[in-house]
């Protein structure tokens, strides 16, 4: 059975003053699911007990002359057990391509982290009817051999739905997740990401092949994130 995961991606948000929100999320996290926060690397070591934590990306090397980068081993050393790889913002802002995402995913595994591998189509690709082909090619190019339900989670994040308030319809999510399930097997967790909020979470979690969510904006505050985690736990 896939694990149910409510994952929050804080992106480049969060000073130490935000740790109170993380504590409130840890205290209110429902049982029976994984509640996970991926804060900026600067906050990882200060995150409260009772939450799983993850990095947002990693360098592919363990150490070396790579100013400003953080290795998967450093994330693990700071307490992380997960690492997001291939987020569309990394692909757009840092030119990360499928081969880079594959290498980062392998680096995450090397450090004992579970990779949350993100894939997603642009609006242009969706409107051209290419969604499933694009996603299948991204997965083929970025999911390393040796992926298992223990070391990898796949997050479907339509680029046009991230941070835009436009959530994919249940039919759109179901079509993609059913296709992904056929590709990755019965046990790997499949998350949906893209403007998930308390108001739409339950409808998304009702879908058979959705095992949780990767949440950006609505993960910054306990009052917004906990109802999403609770909706998942209640499914
Ligand atoms: C994300 O960053 O992965 C994301 C889905 O963001 P948001 O929930 O803000 O759309």
Please count the structural domains in the chain: 1
Residue nearest to atom 7 of ligand 1 (CA): 216
Does a structural domain hold residue 143?
A: yes
Read off the pLDDT of residues 9-42 as tens digits, 9 standing for 90 and up: 999 999 999 999 999 999 999 999 999 999 999 9
Who lines ligand 1 at CB under 6 A?
Answer: 9, 157, 162-163, 193-196, 214-218
Residue nearest to atom 4 of ligand 1 (CA): 216
Read off the pLDDT of residues 105-124 as tens digits, 9 standing for 90 and up: 999 999 999 999 999 999 99
DSSP secondary structure string for all residues of 106-128: HHHHHTTPEEEEEE---HHHHHT
Is 157 catalytic? The answer is: yes
- Chain mean position to CA 224: 17
Distance CA 196, CA 165 (A): 8
Does a structural domain hold residue 130?
A: yes
Residue 52 structural domain: 5-18+33-80+88-221
pLDDT at residue 97, as a whole number:
97
Residues contacting 15, CB < 8 A, separation 6+: none
**pTM, rounded to two decimals:** 0.97
Distance 72 CA to ligand 1 centre (A): 22
Does a structural domain hold residue 24?
A: no
Pocket perturbation via mutation, ligand 1, pick of 90, 120, 215 by most ligand atoms within 8 A of CB: 215
Can you give the CATH number for the domain in which 14 is found? 3.20.20.70
Does a structural domain hold residue 23?
A: no
Pocket perturbation via mutation, ligand 1, pick of 90, 93, 195 by most ligand atoms within 8 A of CB: 195
Does a structural domain hold residue 28?
A: no
Does a structural domain hold residue 233?
A: no
Distance 216 CA to ligand 1 centre (A): 3
Distance 150 CA to ligand 1 centre (A): 23
Phi, psi at 3, each rounded to 5° = -70, 145
Distance CA 33, CA 24 (A): 17
To the nearest 10°, the Cα dihedral for 196, 199, 201, 203?
Answer: -130
pLDDT at residue 166, as a whole number:
87
Distance CA 123, CA 136 (A): 16
Which residues share a beta bridge with 84? 116
Does a structural domain hold residue 136?
A: yes
Read off the pLDDT of residues 119-140 as tens digits, 9 standing for 90 and up: 999 999 999 999 999 999 999 9
CB atoms within 10 A of CB 190: 23
Does a structural domain hold residue 41?
A: yes
């Amino acid at each position: 059975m896939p694990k149910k995961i409510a994952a929050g991606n804080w992106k480049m948000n969060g000073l130490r003053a935000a740790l109170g929100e993380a504590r409130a999320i840890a205290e209110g996290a429902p049982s029976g699911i994984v509640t996970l926060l991926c804060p900026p690397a600067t906050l990882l070591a200060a995150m409260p007990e009772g939450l799983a934590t993850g990095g947002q990306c990693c360098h592919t090397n363990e150490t070396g002359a790579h100013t400003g980068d953080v290795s998967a081993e450093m994330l693990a050393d700071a307490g992380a057990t997960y690492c997001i790889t291939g987020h569309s913002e990394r692909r757009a802002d840092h030119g990360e391509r499928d081969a880079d995402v594959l290498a980062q995913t392998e680096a995450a595994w090397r450090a004992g982290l579970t990779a949350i591998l993100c894939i997603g189509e642009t609006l242009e690709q969706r409107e051209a009817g290419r969604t499933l082909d694009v996603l299948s090619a991204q997965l083929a190019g970025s999911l390393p051999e040796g992926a298992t339900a223990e070391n990898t989670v796949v997050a479907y994040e339509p680029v046009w739905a991230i941070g835009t308030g436009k959530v994919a319809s249940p039919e759109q999510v179901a079509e993609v997740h059913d296709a992904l399930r056929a590709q990755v097997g019965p046990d790997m967790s499949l998350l949906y990401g893209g403007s998930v909020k308390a108001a739409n979470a339950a409808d998304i979690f009702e879908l058979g092949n959705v095992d949780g969510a990767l949440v950006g904006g609505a993960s910054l505050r306990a009052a917004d994130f906990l109802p999403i985690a609770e909706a998942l736990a209640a499914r």
